[in-house]
Chains A and B, each alone.
Chain A
Amino acid sequence: GDSVTQMEGPVTLSEEAFLTINCTYTATGYPSLFWYVQYPGEGLQLLLKATKADDKGSNKGFEATYRKETTSFHLEKGSVQVSDSAVYFCALSGRSGNTGKLIFGQGTTLQVKP
């Protein structure tokens, strides 16, 4: 079945460092891909999305490119801030055989130190 794999955390960075959180997926057909963020004690918020190959999603300085050839959707940010500390989830929404649901990765915790 469809699945999403994220890099293990926690990821600990100093403020202004470059961030990459790896995400790869397995899916039949052509899924849409998403990154969600969860701040401590809260629900999830959609951060960015990409619906087809080579699309780049971006929001609040974060970017991710839908790479069909490597089945990846890595999250990047050029300069992280302390306020970016959160748990980040990669997810896919299938277009065949798995419609009606989001498939989430296990989440990656980011800690940014001043």
Chain B
Amino acid sequence: DGGITQSPKYLFRKEGQNVTLSCEQNLNHDAMYWYRQDPGQGLRLIYYSQIVNDFQKGDIAEGYSVSREKKESFPLTVTSAQKNPTAFYLCASSTLAGVGEQYFGPGTRLTVT
């Protein structure tokens, strides 16, 4: 079964701690994306990557970092510098030619107290 997995589904952290969210895909897609979703708002792009070892900032990259060491994996670290980290985080992937047709994971709900 091809798809995107995100783990864990729910994550709780204390303020001041860094936390890493996992995203893995077995669709052989070149491009991967991280989005943040807040209640009543649309999706905001954090980072995206079109090739291994390269990535670009999205609209709200401050306080976040990513790596792309393998084609299948695109982990997101929420650092202590992110002022309001509590949110629903979604990972997605696509082919390079089909940027509009993104496949999404089930999401990770992060709560920081």
Q: Does B90 contact A (CB under 8 A)?
A: yes
Q: Of the candidates A43, A89, A92, A101, which one forms a contact with B58 in the assembled complex, judged by CB atoms under 8 Å apart? A: A101
Q: Of the candidates B40, B50, B101, which one forms a contact with A34 in the assembled complex, judged by CB atoms under 8 Å apart? A: B101
**What 1/0 flags go to A89-104 for Cβ under 8 Å of B?**
1011100000111101
Q: Which residues on the B side are within 8 Å of A102 (C-beta)? A: 45, 99-100, 102
Q: Are B107 and A43 in contact (CB under 8 A)?
A: yes
Given A89-B43, A100-B48 in contact, is the A43-B101 Cβ separation under 8 Å?
Answer: no
| Alpha-carbon gap, A92 to B58, bound state (A) | 16
Q: Are A91 and B100 in contact (CB under 8 A)?
A: yes
Q: Does B26 contact A (CB under 8 A)?
A: no
Interface of A is mostly: strand
Q: Does B113 contact A (CB under 8 A)?
A: no
Q: Does B41 contact A (CB under 8 A)?
A: yes
What band does the interface of chain B fall in when counting residues whose beta carbon is under 8 Å from A?
20 to 34
Q: Does A22 contact B (CB under 8 A)?
A: no
Q: Of the candidates B58, B92, B107, which one forms a contact with A42 in the assembled complex, judged by CB atoms under 8 Å apart? A: B107
Q: Are A106 and B42 in contact (CB under 8 A)?
A: yes
Q: Are B104 and A44 in contact (CB under 8 A)?
A: yes
Q: Of the candidates B50, B90, B99, which one forms a contact with A93 in the assembled complex, judged by CB atoms under 8 Å apart? A: B99
Q: Which residues on the A side are within 8 Å of B107 (C-beta)? A: 41-43
Q: Are A100 and B50 in contact (CB under 8 A)?
A: yes
The 8 A-B residue pairs with the shortest CB-CB distance, nearest first, are A43-B104, A93-B100, A106-B42, A44-B104, A104-B42, A104-B43, A32-B100, A43-B106
- What are 24 A-B pairs with beta-carbon distances under 8 A? A32-B100, A41-B106, A41-B107, A43-B4, A43-B6, A43-B106, A44-B43, A44-B90, A44-B92, A45-B104, A46-B103, A49-B101, A89-B42, A91-B100, A100-B31, A100-B48, A101-B58, A101-B99, A102-B45, A104-B43, A106-B41, A106-B42, A107-B41, A107-B42
